[in-house]
Chains A and B, each alone.
Chain A
């Protein structure tokens, strides 16, 4: 089974600075999808960014970008110009393309604090 690891339970960043959240995963598949979700105190899960495994180009969404290293099975999230509203739990997720399942695998999460 696929596993997703987020080794940083908590991170903090100064407002306007840049922070990188790490994520690694274990899989034997070649095609899959990776996602970062944000869960603010409201508990609503919000999609931040996604990356297709067969695309070498790193995905970017405004201030959010990823560093996807397929060989290393690493998928880190970089938040630039951090804002107070970025404070949340961040979950890395892996989606299998396997026909036997349609499941997402979530990491344990990283709690991000933004310091004014």
Chain B
């Protein structure tokens, strides 16, 4: 089955530093990947849609300068949290579909970000 790998699974960083999270589709090409943020015991909140070879589409209220998304290839999207603050601490999950509208999303294992 389709596999999405997300790395790192956990990261702790200091306020003011930047953190990069990678999302890879291992056995399929993903022209579109999605980045979600999830608070404890809450649903997934879509942050942005990552489009291969073009700019990401951000949801309302998500700062594009703070959450930089790059989708340079058909198998890799990265999310960089710039100048991280404690309020950015959260669980971030990426997902990718196989292009067909009726195909499910395949999710990475998520990244637990803690900003101290």
B-binding residues in A (CB < 8 A)? 33, 35, 37, 42-45, 47, 50, 52, 89, 91, 93, 95, 97, 102-104, 106-109, 111
Contacts and interface: CB of A to CB of B under 8 A. Distances in A.
B28 interface: no
B64 to A, nearest CB: 17
Nearest to B32: A102
Interface in B16-49: 32, 34, 38, 41-44, 46, 49
A44 B110 CA distance: 7
Given A35-B104, A44-B109, A52-B102, A103 B34 contact: yes
B91 A103 contact: no
Interface residues on B, range: 20 to 34
A35 to B, nearest CB: 6
Interface of B: 32, 34, 38, 41-44, 46, 49, 91, 93, 95, 97, 101-102, 104-107, 109-110
A102 B97 CA distance: 9
B46 to A, nearest CB: 7
A95 B43 contact: no
Given A35-B104, A43-B109, A44-B110, A91 B44 contact: yes
Contact of A103 (B41, B46, B109, B110): B46
A60 B109 CA distance: 26
Contact of B110 (A43, A93, A109, A111): A43
Contact of A106 (B43, B101, B102): B43
18 contacts: A33-B101, A43-B38, A43-B93, A44-B107, A44-B109, A45-B44, A45-B105, A47-B104, A50-B104, A91-B44, A95-B101, A102-B32, A102-B97, A103-B49, A104-B105, A106-B43, A107-B43, A111-B41
